[in-house]
Amino acid sequence: MQSILGSLALLTGLGVSANDIPADFSDVGSLLPTVQINMAYLGSANFVGAQVDGYEANKCYLQQNAATALAQVQQAAMAQGYSLWIFDCYRPQRAVNHFMRWAADLADTSTKMQYYPNLDKDKLVGEYIAEQSGHSRGSTVDLSLAQQDDTGNWRPIDMGSAFDMFDPISNVGASGLSRQQQANRQLLESLMLSAGFKVYNMEWWHFTHQPPVYTDTYFDFVIR
């Protein structure tokens, strides 16, 4: 596994400082004003239970190819009465470091019942939490679909498990889902697949645009 210092060295090699937004990254909210952006790590309602390092604004940045493909998904979703509901996009390396510090503190289990009720905390690193994340390369997005309620507000549809529920129920093709929950997941995957995204089988919400432009570079600019 490549070290953090190695990743920062790659940034320098690209002529990008740790605090610069790369020229080929796009602000998805500006590109797609109808997308519902609700960055989960900006506040405390997440598995860490606190605002995560590097998140200072409710903004979604993605590498341009992924952002352009996501625009196609949003157009297709809106045609069927849905909108994309985004939980996370580009993720600074400092945020991943924050996750790793949290995971190492085995005494802090305050979010266990909500996010990992059937796993011990020391089992989260690996399949769910990693020292380096594809999100930091700019081609990965965590998202769901939303519909408008009677008051016109967008609400996420029922996917059978919440975002960042670290549990087999979040696996693609998990058993125990209702027919509607299965259909909702399949619709999201179909929309994303049609635009060149591939789902991560452990997490129904986790998609990476193929092929990712950056494969060994992990960016660390702050979301602001």
* Contact in structure between 168 and 174 (CB atoms under 8 Å): yes
Q: Which of 103, 99, 71 lies closest to 86 in space, CA to CA?
A: 71
Parallel, antiparallel, or unpaired: how do β-strands 140-148 and 25-27 relate? unpaired
Residue 209 counted as an annotated binding residue? no
Which is catalytic among the residues 56, 131, 189, 203?
A: 203
Q: Which of 138, 40, 144 lies closest to 83 in space, CA to CA?
A: 144
Q: Which of 150, 52, 65 lies closest to 100 in space, CA to CA?
A: 52
Q: What are phi and psi of 155, to 5 degrees?
A: -130, 140
Active site residue 203: yes
Per the listing, tokens 């990743």 go with 7
Q: Which of 215, 157, 166, 217 lies closest to 185 in space, CA to CA?
A: 157
Count helices and strands (H / E) in the chain.
Answer: 6, 8
Task: List b or e across 184-223, with b for residues whose CB sees 16 or more CB atoms inside 10 angstroms.
Answer: bbeebbebbeebbbbbbeebbbbbbbeebbbeebbbbbeb
Residue 135 counted as an annotated binding residue? yes
Residue 206 counted as an annotated binding residue? yes
- Determine whether 67 is exposed, middle or buried from the number of CB atoms within 10 Å of its CB (0-12, 13-18, 19+): buried
Annotated binding site for Zn(2+): 135, 142, 206
Residues tagged active-site: 203
Residues forming the annotated binding site? 135, 142, 206
